[in-house]
A and B are shown apart, each in its own frame.
Chain A
Amino acid sequence: MRHERTIGGTIANICIYTFLSLFALSIIFPFYNMVILSLSTFADAATTRFVPLPANLTFENYERIFADPQILTSFWISFQNVVFGTSMALVITVFTAYALSRRNLPGRKFMFYFMVITMFFSAGLVPWYLVMVNLGFVNNFWVMTVPGILSTFNVILVRNYFMSLPESIEESARIDGAGEFIIMWRIIVPLSMPIMATVALFYAVGFWNSWFNAMIFIQDRSMIPIALVLRRLVIENSMTINDPMGLAVAAQLVHSRALELATVTVATIPILLVYPFLQRYFTKGIILGAVKA
């Protein structure tokens, strides 16, 4: 079937594409500017707001970053958080979602609403802090992953996706003698790769970017994730020199915007690299998980 193009339609398309292009540009431009300035010298980055290409290309900022043991240590910590946290979170989310998707599960609705309530109401920061302290999470590596190992939102997405799958597939498997675990692991999960990829992305990005738990509970600098290092860097660079730092630091301190942006770049790129691998699943997964129930 051939669609006739009308003038109105063409104008609408031009407007839509123009708007979307500008919108995309508004997202891409800051990132591009950040990368370019991070490749600039101290003086260039301090004097210019934007340059299409670095006037004096230098990798000095990156050399300094990778010479800093704190940055490298924090990278490794964040990587471990993402790998362990995402893996465990996926497993627990799948188990929870699968159970809640079973129509014959006694108390299914109660359990589901019990979980949903936690999305809207929390006990508050202080009780949460006390629970964490009493569980021994102070200065404990696991505090960065375990408390956030299960997201109710993600459970709902996965549960809805599971419920959207035809029941006949399960029944066939059951006739063939498959138990619940086999059905979940061999039938449901392989059929749910779009939502798995989507939720994995949510978890991975969340663990990579998380800093709050580390800020509250982690004292050992060898366990600080890269997101917290970045936060400190940005805050420190926005302060005046009227701060309680020692003389030796204050006397030699020169704020380098280029170095700051290079650190942000280095911290951003790893998680950005995950997106292309999961992109083909992403849209499909979130739409299906969101609308089917």
Chain B
Amino acid sequence: MKKKLISLLCLLLVFSMVSACAPAADYDGGAVGDAATEQPDSGAPDALPETPSAADGESRWGEPITVSVSIWEGSLSFGTEPCALYSYIIERFGLKFDPIDIDWGNMYELPLLWAAADNLPDIVGGFDLGRATMIDWADAGLIRSLPSDLSRWPTLESWMNTAFLAQHTYNEQNWLLPRPDTLEPMMEITSLARGIVNRRDWREQLGIPVPETMDDLMDMWQAFSDNSADLPGAADTVFGVLPALPTFILDGSITGYGSTVASWSRLPNGDMIIPAFEEPASKLLFFWREAFNRGIMDPDFITNVGFMDMQAFAQGRAGTVLRQVVPIHLNNIHNHWLEFQPGIDFASAIEILQSPEVPGTTPVYLSGAGFWSSTVFSDRLSDEVLERVLYFFDWAFSEEGTFTLMFGFEGQDWEMVDGEVRMLTDINPDTDMHFNARDLYTFAGGGMFDLANWPGDVVQWFTPVIPQAVREMAWENRNRVIVPGREYTWRHAQVGAFLVPEVLEMGLPSAVDEWISVLTDTSATTDAELWQQLQNRINAAGYERAKDLMTAAVAELLD
């Protein structure tokens, strides 16, 4: 028995060594690969869109150059053989990519290790670099700046010349490309990122009209809590309202009291403030305190992470959830809903409420543009290679590139009909939806498209991947917020304290933490006393001086 066991172990050892020495098995990316094996034949179209090389009438680039690139789950983007889309990229831009994975598990450790070892990939993207790190890397000579003249890359130029990116320049040069969440520079789509997702069926069952005042809103939530036993839902415990994350109580969900955002914001007169620390914001703060003290606000919001709010809302544990109201997020709620309450029609049971307006207060609709992550270029990248790379990025940032990376080739895989993408591909039997670029082309299957625009944010309004009813709900809200000619009070640039090291060193208290400590105060201390205590704390930390320093620094930067 003992000898047999030893023999077996030896056999396993030999087999293990042989297997480990063998070339790595081709891995086709899990679900993406599975879909790809069953995909319909979808090569590149016969007539490619005009490229720089085609326009010149000759091969502009010659032999393709391979560049290493860190991207989000990048290895998923590359099969063993280039897909039609990747072949198209190689031909059009003379570039091949050697991908290095970045993901949640290594997005901080790996880039910092590369930098410390002076071993950055040629293109570093896929994570939020941050201005401080960018400056460190620029000073250390690890990355190179973008050319000062970007006129050959018009889409990039339109981005890099925007004021909001000015705060990320260093030594009067641009060092990064943003991965923005919109096709149009300064289209402040984040205004749509917060909203009041409400149980319409509960409201109507209780005979409550659409809330028009803040008191109406509070009363509706109270009614949800008081009548929880009679309302449909998969759970008995019901709260009136559940913010998805603590920051959502002050970052744009309830806009009636004006701006209450927790980050540095610029007033029309140029002053820099943190609106959540200013007097007008106190009304919203004490609105939440009352809700908390009445027991109609789910206290779990303080520790919520991930998908917990969506699960709670989908279970029927809250009548309102404060969350993003763009199609992606609404669809996430919808998907959770299908798990918990498949018998109740989501589209008819849910509504997106507008924040009630408060007389005498200018509501805030917009909160500023931003970007999710950034891409920088290694100092080892030559001018010639950078030129090719920028042509690729210019295309990827464009509407053509964004839609191609998301849906495939226009005219072959999809067409635009009345402002909506109509897929021309076959139906995927696994999902009952059309094959999209992710299914058809491995190049679009991973994080490759994360380098430029975030197609998820851009095309979510058009994609058939999200049910039409869900998208219509988001469109309806968008059209209420984005109104031509509307005066937007808070068209400000949001900048971080990193602009002024002294402000950073002050270590101002977090507005979110301060608000939570106040609104969860159940003692007999009055609102006025609590507000004064909050003011004392932030002023002791230097808030007033920080405002002056930030105002001066931003004026110098932007004006």
A residues at B contact (CB < 8 Å): 42-43, 46-47, 68-70, 73, 76, 79-80, 83-84, 87, 125-126, 129-130, 133, 141-142, 215-216, 219-223, 228, 231-232, 235-248, 250-255
Contacts and interface: CB of A to CB of B under 8 A. Distances in A.
A130 B114 CA distance: 9
Q: Indicate the member of B13, B76, B234, B436 with the most A CB atoms within 10 Å.
A: B13
6 contacts: A47-B315, A239-B306, A244-B179, A252-B465, A254-B336, A255-B311
Contact of B12 (A83, A215, A246, A253): A83
Contacts of B327: 251
B454 A43 contact: no
Given A216-B106, A219-B101, A141 B30 contact: no
A244 to B, nearest CB: 5
B24 A231 contact: no
Given A76-B19, A240-B245, 16 more contacts: A46-B315, A46-B340, A47-B315, A70-B27, A80-B20, A83-B16, A130-B117, A231-B105, A232-B103, A237-B306, A240-B306, A244-B72, A244-B454, A246-B455, A250-B332, A252-B335
B116 interface: yes
B186 interface: no
Q: Indicate the member of A80, A142, A221, A244 with the most B CB atoms within 10 Å.
A: A244
A102 to B, nearest CB: 27
Contacts of A142: 20
Given A73-B27, A231-B105, A219 B99 contact: yes
Contacts of A79: 16
Contacts of B320: none
A241 B307 contact: yes
Nearest to B245: A240
Given A47-B235, A240-B306, A232 B315 contact: no
Contacts of A252: 335, 431, 465
Given A129-B113, A130-B117, A232-B104, A245 B26 contact: no
B126 interface: yes
Interface SS of A by simple majority: helix
B492 interface: no
In the A-B complex, list the 9 residue pairs whose CB atoms are closest, starting with the nearest: A247-B456, A222-B27, A255-B307, A235-B104, A80-B16, A232-B105, A126-B116, A83-B16, A248-B438
Nearest to B437: A248
Contact of B75 (A83, A84, A220, A244): A220
A215 B75 contact: no
Q: Indicate the member of A87, A130, A236, A245 with the most B CB atoms within 10 Å.
A: A245
A42 B454 CA distance: 30
B110 A215 contact: yes
B466 interface: yes
Interface in B220-245: 234-235, 244-245
B27 A221 contact: yes
A250 B170 CA distance: 34
A60 to B, nearest CB: 12
Interface in B242-279: 244-245
Q: Indicate the member of B99, B103, B244, B307 with the most A CB atoms within 10 Å.
A: B307
Nearest to B28: A69
Nearest to B113: A129
Contact of A84 (B17, B24, B116, B235): B17
A46 B332 CA distance: 15
A46 B17 CA distance: 42
A252 B305 CA distance: 18
A236 B306 CA distance: 9
Contacts of A245: 72, 456
B75 to A, nearest CB: 6
B447 interface: yes
Contacts of B447: 244, 246
A241 B105 CA distance: 16
A175 B117 CA distance: 56
Contacts of B26: 222
Contacts of B245: 240
B63 interface: no
Q: Indicate the member of A125, A231, A248 with the most B CB atoms within 10 Å.
A: A248
A238 B306 contact: yes
